[in-house]
Structure 1
Amino acid sequence: MNRDLKCWKEAATVILASAVRNCFVNKNATSTQTCRPPLLVPKRARNVTQSWLETVVFDYTVLMLQRSAKSSFMPHAQVFPGGTISPSDFSNEWIQMFQPFCKPPNFELGTVRQTAKRPPILAMDRGRLGSEIPGEVAFRICAIRETFEESGILLVKPKAPGKCLKGQGAITLTQYDQKELAKWRLLVQKNAENFISLCRELNCIPNIWALKEWSNWLTPTFLGGKRFDTVFFICCLQEIPFTLHDGYETVQYNWMSPLDFIQGFNLGKFIVPPPQWYELSRLCQIPCFQDLQQFSQDRALEGCEQWFPIHLVASDGYAFLYPGDELYPEDPDYTGEKEININSSKTLEQLRLEVTRLHRIEWRDRYFTLYVNIEPQYKHVHPLTMNMQFNSNL
């Protein structure tokens, strides 16, 4: 394994976005409001007003699962479906499964334009470990398998020569007998290798083409405990599929608009970890499902940054620093062998006013604010910026 990854467990997750037949309307909005029709995705952060929040309309929802109270990592938290990589996700048996429909080296996923600073989790050559499956394929398989285990949603497509790329836009899931899927779900939960058997038995393959690369997050060292190097994908669905939490790792599921999750967090209804909060806030910039599909497709081969949050401790609170911020270390220790903290006797405001490049979340008591004024990398979009008060009554 790459030296820089040895302290992290490798994982994959998928942001599932589903169209809804009738536009989802914020509780304060009128039913006559519609999504803006043209594709106009702002790259820069946009500071929103309360009036905007009361009128914005989403015509799609996203899936989040509530982790069990017994979970050793982020108990109670709302997360996107996903989990840690299994050796079976890199199994060379997948080559036989995909042939003759698509072939290595990239299985017709296309060539990512990002060459410099490609996240190691995706760039690392696994050949010396005996696998011919590239990371961009294996981590998609991982996300699909874990989504099935945690939510019962099976992101596969029937074997059909020459049709591997038909999942470019929003996809319609193949319908299977739910009793049959429930049986397979238990088997895959017991042993990840059974996911290969499932695909053979149902004559299908993981729909890796429907998952678009989105982001890459590392667990910050200051949290202690488990650390994950997680690839985030996004997948658009034509309609909300049958969903059922597993009752073990996940105890509840919610299909809601991105803004509803943000506001639920603000009211203390949900625990949403910073990476999920940040990605939901990004989605808040794109309230129309058609725009989200187009945006995901347009930047599908652009690549993504590896984000390793750094802890900044000031006299009146603390902050998470992200790449691009002027105080972000030039060469952070990605090995995780030592904890990285930046300590200062100055206030958060003083530290902010001393720099010109901002990419940070500041926390004071129960209040936090996102500050970002840098240009997003790889044609991505910044989140909404808003003042939030986190109610920690959970």
Structure 2
Amino acid sequence: HFNCYPDVENLFLWSNWLTPSHMTERFDAVFFFTNMNHLTLYRGSPDYKEIESSEWFTPEELLDLSHKGEIWLKPPQWYEIKELLHVKEFTSLHKHSYQRSNSCLRWMPVRIIALDGEISLLPGDEMYPNEIHLFKSSPIVRKEESMASLRCKKMHRMEHTGVKIVLFDTRSD
């Protein structure tokens, strides 16, 4: 119909997120990345199931809209858009995408309910369990402490307060 097709030779595995096991509806979300080597920006068509609309934004614009509460990004989307901020030059994006695709692991956040919000622990965080069950339901951990008091030296987590998300990543410090 549109006489176009994906460039699978330049399609890179970016990340893989599994919905936490306590959730009733779960997804194994796999994100891919490709570079478009032309200036034509295509508008996708909504299917009103998973795609309501499509627009082009910079990562900064999306995070700003999310912070203002104008759009809602699910935590994996928010995290991966935040990761794009680390790539400073467009020319290095292809190399970065290739390197990521060779070391992509499935992540499953572990949720903690604190007194003042929720924490999504990610692999590499000191509090992340040594053993997780990907397909067996695990209870939500509840702590009678604030998110700040649960911070540790080696963190890799998202802290959620309403629509606001804050990332802590001290793995390389």
| TM-score normalised to structure 2 length | 0.86
1:270 is paired with a residue whose SS is coil
User: d(CA) in 2 for partners of 1:208 and 1:304?
Assistant: 18
State the shift of 1:247 in Å.
4.3
Counterpart for residue 294 of structure 1 = 95
Aligned pairs (5 A) from 1:259-270: 259-270=60-71
Q: How has the CA–CA distance of structure 1 residues 268 and 311 changed in structure 2, closer, same or farther, with 3 Å as cutoff? A: same
Unaligned runs of 5+ in 2: none
The number of equivalent residue pairs is: 170
Q: How has the CA–CA distance of structure 1 residues 242 and 214 changed in structure 2, closer, same or farther, with 3 Å as cutoff? A: closer
Q: Does 1:357 align with 2:158?
A: no
State the shift of 1:300 in Å.
5.3
Q: How has the CA–CA distance of structure 1 residues 369 and 244 changed in structure 2, closer, same or farther, with 3 Å as cutoff? A: closer
Deviations 1:12-55 (A, max 9, x none): xxxxxxxxxxxxxxxxxxxxxxxxxxxxxxxxxxxxxxxxxxxx
State the shift of 1:277 in Å.
0.5
Counterpart for residue 339 of structure 1 = 138
User: d(CA) in 2 for partners of 1:262 and 1:313?
Assistant: 24
User: d(CA) in 2 for partners of 1:300 and 1:267?
Assistant: 30
Counterpart for residue 129 of structure 2 = 329
User: d(CA) in 2 for partners of 1:302 and 1:331?
Assistant: 24
User: d(CA) in 1 for partners of 2:154 and 2:66?
Assistant: 27
Q: How has the CA–CA distance of structure 1 residues 216 and 301 changed in structure 2, closer, same or farther, with 3 Å as cutoff? A: closer
Aligned pairs (5 A) from 1:96-245: 180-181=1-2, 207-222=7-22, 224-238=23-37, 239-245=39-45
Q: Does 1:283 align with 2:84?
A: yes
1:325 is paired with a residue whose SS is coil
Deviations 1:296-355 (A, max 9, x none): 23x0552212110111112222211001111111111111x3233222212211111xx3
1:350 is paired with a residue whose SS is helix
Any conservation in 1 of the 2:19–2:108 contact (CA below 8 Å)?
A: yes
Counterpart for residue 252 of structure 1 = 53
Letter in 2 for 1:275: P
2:35 is paired with a residue whose SS is strand
User: d(CA) in 1 for partners of 2:133 and 2:163?
Assistant: 30
Any conservation in 2 of the 1:311–1:340 contact (CA below 8 Å)?
A: no
Letter in 2 for 1:232: F
State the shift of 1:365 in Å.
4.7
Counterpart for residue 308 of structure 1 = 108
User: d(CA) in 1 for partners of 2:101 and 2:19?
Assistant: 25
| TM-score normalised to structure 1 length | 0.40
Any conservation in 2 of the 1:244–1:253 contact (CA below 8 Å)?
A: yes
Q: Does 1:373 align with 2:156?
A: no
Give the CA RMSD over aligned residues.
2.2
Any conservation in 2 of the 1:310–1:340 contact (CA below 8 Å)?
A: no
Deviations 1:130-165 (A, max 9, x none): xxxxxxxxxxxxxxxxxxxxxxxxxxxxxxxxxxxx
Q: How has the CA–CA distance of structure 1 residues 283 and 315 changed in structure 2, closer, same or farther, with 3 Å as cutoff? A: same
User: d(CA) in 2 for partners of 1:372 and 1:245?
Assistant: 36
Letter in 1 for 2:31: F
Letter in 1 for 2:79: Y
1:326 is paired with a residue whose SS is coil
Letter in 1 for 2:116: D
Any conservation in 2 of the 1:324–1:359 contact (CA below 8 Å)?
A: yes
Counterpart for residue 170 of structure 1 = none
Unaligned runs of 5+ in 1: 1-179, 182-201, 376-394
Q: Does 1:273 align with 2:70?
A: no
Q: Which has the higher helix share?
A: 1
